[in-house]
Every structure is written in C-alpha cells, then in structure tokens.
Structure 1
C-alpha cells in the first residue's frame, strides 16, 4: 500500500485538490429541464461561482465568511429546502421585499413589472411534441431578463402578497408556467445557496442526438 501511495502520490494530490476546488470554489452544473427557458435550456452546462456569496467549509452549508449579498436578478444554484435536490432559478425577492403575482404579473414592493417585446413561440418538449408559448422581456426592480409563459400548462399564476424573511430569498424560474420554484418549495435560506451561475460552459441538443450548440458556448447568463 505504501508503495502504491508513493507511486501515485501526484495523482492523488491532484484529485484531492480538484475535489476541494470543485466543492469550495467553482463548479459546473448541467441543466436537465426547461424551467429556466429561454435563458437556459436542456443540455446547457453552466459555470457556478461557489464563492460569490459565502466562503464555506467544503462539503457543508457552514459559512466561514460572508462575502457579498445575493441580488435580485442573480441566477443561482441552491439546495431545495423541500427535498434536498439541487436546483437553478433566478432570485426575484431578497430579505424584506414584499412580493405578489397577479395573473402572471410580478409585483415587487408595490411596483408591477413591465413586459415588452412579446412574441409567439413553439417549445419542443419531446421529439414528437411541441407546445405554444409567449416569450417576452420582463423589467422588474431595475433588473431585466427574458422569460416565457405557456398558457396551456397548469400553473400557479397568482400568490401573495408575502414578505421575504431575513436571510432568505424567493426564487422563480424564467419559464414561469413550468418551474418548481418558491411558489411550491417556499423561501430559500441563504445557507442553502450554492453559488451564482455566470456563464454557459457548453451546450448540446439533448432531443437531437446531442448535437452541440456552439453558439451557446461561453455565453454569459443574463
């Protein structure tokens, strides 16, 4: 055993350092569902900055140092407070915000979001099936993003008003009618945030023989 450890010591050191790097500093996250369409699509692999908000002990939710506060509009990975599954959504509410949704329109602190540039789309959900939707730009509380609605899908289009508790955040998917977000799983405590997704590393069409989408490689997440 000692001889094997000596022979492969550099490989062991490399993989230990790589493991610490991935669990503490940076990570990549594959996108398995369409809950963040059109910003992120199935087959994207996103880069995640694990030290965007907190420096944590490796493999734990224990924060050693708080670095920055999450902001409205950030796309983040986090552990679901409902079942422990890793999710990726957009922060729309920070501590102290009053949030409400009325017939799909998001209200933040008494101000309704503005919706621009609506266009009809057809979203492919399987090799044989597509569903109609509406893609548009949402302007809310000084942040801007592309979102979409799918009127044919049963969804929670109204909630609140509610106040975001201290050290917690309210998440929504950009694909508003097809996202298991804070409307269903509740507020997300800061300790469950993993990191901020900032770029698409690579992308492939999972419904079309995994053909690469080269135009998405390296694209920033807005």
Structure 2
C-alpha cells in the first residue's frame, strides 16, 4: 500500500509540474499552415517562452517584470473573441509607429524597409516557381519573407499603432491574415515568444506506403529568428 501511495504521489507531482511548466514557462504548438514561411513551415512543432515578456503570477492575471515585444519578434497570441485559438505572427510595428504598405513593401515611420532578394534555397522556398525569398531589413533588424512572383499590388494604411498594441504580419506576405485585416493586437493578448523548433514533419514527403511523414532533421532543435 505504501508503494502505491509513493507511485501516486510521484504521478501527481509530475502532472502538477508539467501543468505548471505549460501554463507559466513554456508552451508547445504545432504550425498548421504556411502563413509564416519561410521561417516556420507546416508541420513544425515549436516552443514558446511564456516568460519573455513578463512572469505571470500563478493563479492570477498579474505579471511581474513586464517587457514589451521587440520589433521582429515572433509571438504567439490570441484574440478576445477567439480565446481558444492561438496565432503566430511577426511584430513589425510598436506603439506609436506609423505603418504604411505600398505595392506590398513596408514604410515604417515614413522610412522604407530594405528588401534584398535571397538566392534560391530549395529547403526554404516552398515553390521557387511561384515565390521569391527576400531579406526584409529595418535598421539593425532583419528577417526573411516571401512574395509571390506575380503578386497583386497591395496597399495599406497609413496607420499609427495605438498604445499597448503591436502591428503584426505573416512572413508569407501574400498568404497571411494579419493586422492588415484584423487590426493591431493588444499586448495583453500576447502569450509568449517563439524560441525553438523542436520537431519538423513534412507530410508532403512520406514513406512507409505514404503513411508516415519524413522528418526535416535540419530543423529539429533549431532556434527561431
């Protein structure tokens, strides 16, 4: 009886610890779509740090040491009308920033971002016949985005980001629903910062009679930028 009590105590402690880690430290998510390509691919499994922007006090809505997101961060967030659905996008505009998009290219505080075409890398480009990869740069920050070769001209703004909110975009600019359509995101709805891809499964390339996905080994335990 004592042994079973020890087993039960160990199990309860393990479950409590796992729930604590998931709720307050690190949460795992699966990427279902290609809206964040080339950075995140469908089938990526990611970890999000819940303490990057503040430490939440257990069993409360209060946070300590609150830190605002930085430009270029990949964040996990929710919307008030869909609290059960988590989204991943990149922070482009911070509070007070003036955002405008002309012909698909961003002007941030009336300064155009720089776009440098990246040589085709088959592992990053979902379809080189359709997409081009660019390095998008603003001052000391840069990240990769993709555009369709024959994309339509899309203009937006100008918009000034309200206090305590951020303007977010998907890296797959022609195939992402984001602040261009939903509006800015309150920082209170941000869950955490994406920090790591711990597993990546490719369901386009299968084996075992087309029953099992292949593993993208080059992406396993790779940091996210």
Tell me if TM exceeds 0.5. Answer: yes
- Retained in 2: the 8 A contact 1:54–1:63? no
Q: TM-score, normalised by structure 2?
A: 0.86
- Retained in 2: the 8 A contact 1:115–1:138? yes
Residue 69 of structure 2 corresponds to residue 78 of structure 1: no
| SS at structure 2 position matched to 1:206 | strand
1:5 deviates by 6.6
> What is the alpha-carbon distance in structure 1 between the residues aligned to residue 144 and residue 80 of structure 2?
26
> What is the alpha-carbon distance in structure 2 between the residues aligned to residue 131 and residue 180 of structure 1?
23
Unmatched segments (≥5 aa) in structure 1: 125-129
Alignment of 1:1-222 (within 5 A): 7-58=7-58, 62-81=61-80, 83-84=82-83, 85-118=85-118, 123=126, 132-151=130-149, 157-209=154-206, 210-222=213-225
Q: What is residue 210 of structure 2 aligned with on the other side?
A: none
- Retained in 1: the 8 A contact 2:38–2:126? no
| SS at structure 1 position matched to 2:34 | coil
| SS at structure 2 position matched to 1:96 | coil
| SS at structure 1 position matched to 2:77 | strand
- Retained in 1: the 8 A contact 2:166–2:184? yes
- For the aligned residue pairs, the C-alpha RMSD in angstroms reads 2.4
- Retained in 2: the 8 A contact 1:153–1:178? no
- Retained in 1: the 8 A contact 2:94–2:166? yes
Unmatched segments (≥5 aa) in structure 2: 207-212
1:195 deviates by 0.5
For these two proteins, the number of residue pairs brought into alignment is 213
| SS at structure 2 position matched to 1:123 | coil
| SS at structure 1 position matched to 2:14 | helix
- Retained in 2: the 8 A contact 1:200–1:217? yes
> What is the alpha-carbon distance in structure 1 between the residues aligned to residue 196 and residue 73 of structure 2?
12
> What is the alpha-carbon distance in structure 2 between the residues aligned to residue 59 and residue 145 of structure 1?
36
| SS at structure 1 position matched to 2:162 | coil
> What is the alpha-carbon distance in structure 2 between the residues aligned to residue 184 and residue 45 of structure 1?
26
